[in-house]
Amino acid sequence: MVLANFRVIFAGKLLSWGNIGCRRLSAQPGLVELVQLNKIPDDLAKEVLKNFRIIPDFITKDEENDLLGELEPKLRRMRYQYDHWDDAIHGFRETEQMNWNPKNTVVLNRIKAEAFPGEASLLPHVHVLDLADNGWIKPHIDSVKFCGHTIAGVSLLSDSVMKLERETDGLAFIALLKRRSLYVMTDCVRYEFKHSILRNEDSYFGNLKVDKLRRISVICRNEPQEEIS
């Protein structure tokens, strides 16, 4: 990848890559969250900033463990699926969960409050996606039939790289999803950009190799808006 074309978004500000340097980037406690791949115009960059947020360390290690403690017994009973060449996800098992133990309910409520402030119509089931170390998610847009304007996910067990690519013109940016971070994808990013989780071989953030190990995401979505006819 050519670093000269990258611009970095850090703490809500656009910086040029040259000012920051990859090593310093990875050592930053708050960590840079997004890198633009192409030359995204500033007005679009602003929209992207508004509609794709990452909050590092959204959950603590203990909270991660508590979530895993509740999920692992269920997931362990399932097999990873590597089935179909045209499936959006490769090497995964998944489940949905409506009721959580009291500790995890507190965490889920924090995710919901952050990502869906004032929103009443959340999907009642939280989606849990377990990607094997050799699994990945191909570029796709979540069905507008089943999911509304916001998608929010916490990453457990592993860092990973998400790529977002606009359907119409291929403008793209990548996001570093650190373990225990929360991302919130809304409106134009949710509807106009395909998202994917890169397979381990392709998992670079700038020139920083990001080892994608087994990764579990806990994803909240809202109901699609009713069509006005």
Residue 135 CB, nearest distance to ligand OGA (Å)? 10
Residue 142 lies near ligand OGA (rule: CB under 6 A):
yes
Size of the site for Mn ion (CB under 5 A): 1
Residue 142 lies near Mn ion (rule: CB under 5 A):
yes
C-alpha 197/C-alpha 219 separation (Å) is: 14
> What are the phi and psi torsion angles at 46 (to 5°)?
-65, -45
Which of Mn ion, ligand OGA, none does 174 bind, CB closer than 5 to 8 A by kind?
none
Which of ligand OGA, Mn ion, none does 217 bind, CB closer than 5 to 8 A by kind?
ligand OGA
Which of ligand OGA, Mn ion, none does 129 bind, CB closer than 5 to 8 A by kind?
ligand OGA
C-alpha 12/C-alpha 101 separation (Å) is: 35
Q: β-strands 160-166, 172-177: how paired? A: antiparallel
User: Which of 64, 28, 43, 46 shows the shortest CA–CA distance to 156?
Assistant: 64
C-alpha 115/C-alpha 151 separation (Å) is: 8
Stretch of 25-33, 120-128, 138-146, 166-174 contacting Mn ion, by CB under 5 A = 138-146
Nearer of residues 100 and 183 to ligand OGA, judged by Cβ: 183
C-alpha 153/C-alpha 74 separation (Å) is: 19
Residue 155 CB, nearest distance to ligand OGA (Å)? 7
DSSP assigned state of 6: -
C-alpha 191/C-alpha 188 separation (Å) is: 5
- Read out DSSP for 27-63? H-SS---EEESS---HHHHHHHHHHEEEETT-S-HHH
Task: Kindly tell me which residue out of 34, 129, 156, 210 binds ligand OGA, with binding defined by CB under 6 A.
Answer: 129
Residue 142 CB, nearest distance to Mn ion (Å)? 4
Task: Kindly tell me which residue out of 91, 135, 153, 206 binds ligand OGA, with binding defined by CB under 6 A.
Answer: 153
Task: Kindly tell me which residue out of 51, 150, 158, 217 binds ligand OGA, with binding defined by CB under 6 A.
Answer: 217
Q: β-strands 215-221, 160-166: how paired? A: unpaired
Residue 99 CB, nearest distance to Mn ion (Å)? 23
Which of ligand OGA, Mn ion, none does 153 bind, CB closer than 5 to 8 A by kind?
ligand OGA
Residue whose token pair is 């997931």: 75
Residue 195 lies near ligand OGA (rule: CB under 6 A):
yes
Contact positions vs ligand OGA (CB under 6 A): 129, 137, 142, 153, 195, 197, 217, 219
